[in-house]
Amino acid sequence: MDQAERDAAVEANRREYGGAYGQMRWITREEAREAEEERSRLVAAVSGAALWGCGSTKVDCRSLSPGCRHCGSGTWSCLFVNGVCNARCMYCPTEQREVGEAATNNLSFPRAEDYAAYLRRLGFTGSSMSGGEPLLTFDRTLRYLEATRAAIGSVGYLWMYTNGILLTAERAARLAETGLNEVRIDLSAADYDLGPVRLAAEHLGTVTVEIPALPEDAERLIALLPELVTAGVRHLNLHELRCTPHNLPRLARRGYVFRHGPRVTVVGSELGALGVLRAAFDANVPLPVNYCSAVYKALYQARAARARAAEVARAPGESVTEAGYLRELRYTEGAPTHVRYHLAALRSAPSYQAVFREIELDSGRSIVVERTQAGEASGLLPQYETLPEGLVPYF
């Protein structure tokens, strides 16, 4: 991150957090130097065994779950089937108190058949149910799971996120009947109780533990690795702990130090996740550990959404860049002399702030694709062509 990029990140973060920004404990240069050194040691320690992917923003990519592979390739849709939760995790990024409508990427889908039609129209081969807590609206979740399985077919991959608190043997069996391939359980929501994991492993094909990497829980998680294996866990996904205006008060009370970036994150989270990965390698624990960084989400998940919309909006003669933007080349005497880039986005209804057209789904529902100009120049602009690589510097 050069000085201009850092200044832009600082200003964006300042706007996002408003008056609370000045009260946040931001990393100092000296702390950043120490964190960079520790990260370098951890990366070096796993470099002989681990595989980096997605522009070196994700590790270890040797044995990712099929769902994570769909995410990395941009063929995944995540449906937030509700917006209410029965847990009150201190790190939750949003309030999670309203059931609301099922939604994904600025699109709401009150009817399961419309969501299924959206999956078919966009060509998704992977889909997941999230929330909130999907088990709180179990009948609704089943409807969307069944419609999704019909849309993506038997070869598509279907999974669900849950805290596991409301999981029962009967519900696990019902989920399996819908063709659910994988369940991802947030163990930290229930103080690392392995009961839901063991129950899920009895009925469902793949059980993944997916949790934010809490710095203070790293050693506890390392000690728990062998038990996760015997409980039937196939994958361990660790997310970089993100700070939002909603969870900031609770994170600040824990004394966390924050760093700037596309998303504000907790400094010790990444180091803790890499430490768990190293411990798993050192102890030869047969459990794939995947560190999912905040910059991966900010770059690659956002790129996937742009690219999907761009393919729908693409006009003759236009192409979609690696970064997910529409590229329009203008030629003079057979040679490209001018480049124009557009950003495409899918919406439930037009914002009337951009050029748009309606897209008919085979369920009778329509969605809208909008396009706005992102930039133009006499040559290719790197920021619209490719994504930056590597983890975010600490300062």
CB atoms within 10 A of CB 379: 9
pLDDT digits (tens, 9 = 90+) for 324-342: 999 999 887 777 779 999 9
What is the pLDDT, as a whole number, of residue 11? 96
What is the pLDDT, as a whole number, of residue 270? 98
Is 262 a residue whose pLDDT tops 90? no
Residue 199: phi and psi, rounded to 5, are -65, -45
What is the pLDDT, as a whole number, of residue 134? 98
Is 1 a residue whose pLDDT tops 90? no
Q: Which two tokens stand for residue 93?
A: 């990024």
Q: How far apart are CA 124 and CA 118, in angstroms?
A: 9
What is the pLDDT, as a whole number, of residue 277? 98
pLDDT digits (tens, 9 = 90+) for 73-103: 999 999 999 999 999 999 999 999 999 999 9
When pLDDT is cut at 50, 70 and 90, the band that residue 2 belongs to is confident
CA quadruple 146, 148, 153, 158: dihedral positive or negative?
A: negative
Mean pLDDT across the chain, nearest whole number?
96
Residues in the chain: 395
Is residue 208 within 8 A of residue 182, CB to CB? The reply is yes
Cα 332 off chain centre by: 42
Query: What percent of the chain is modeled with pLDDT above 90?
Result: 95
- Amino acid letter for position 32: A
pLDDT digits (tens, 9 = 90+) for 211-242: 999 999 999 999 999 999 999 999 999 999 99
Is 13 a residue whose pLDDT tops 80? yes
Q: How far apart are CA 131 and CA 103, in angstroms?
A: 9
Cα 141 off chain centre by: 20
Q: Which two tokens stand for residue 108?
A: 């709401």
Domain boundaries, the chain: 3-303, 314-385
pLDDT digits (tens, 9 = 90+) for 346-387: 999 999 999 999 999 999 999 999 999 999 999 899 999 999
CB atoms within 10 A of CB 252: 15
What is the pLDDT, as a whole number, of residue 337? 79
**pTM reported for the whole predicted model:** 0.95
CATH number of 3-303: 3.20.20.70
Is residue 302 within 8 A of residue 289, CB to CB? The reply is no
pLDDT digits (tens, 9 = 90+) for 116-156: 999 999 999 999 999 999 999 999 999 999 999 999 999 99
- For the residues of 231-294, what is the DSSP string, one character each? HT--EEEEEPPBP-TTTHHHHHHTT--EE-SSS-EEHHHHHHHHHHHHHHHHTT-S--EEEE-H
Q: Which two tokens stand for residue 26?
A: 């931001």
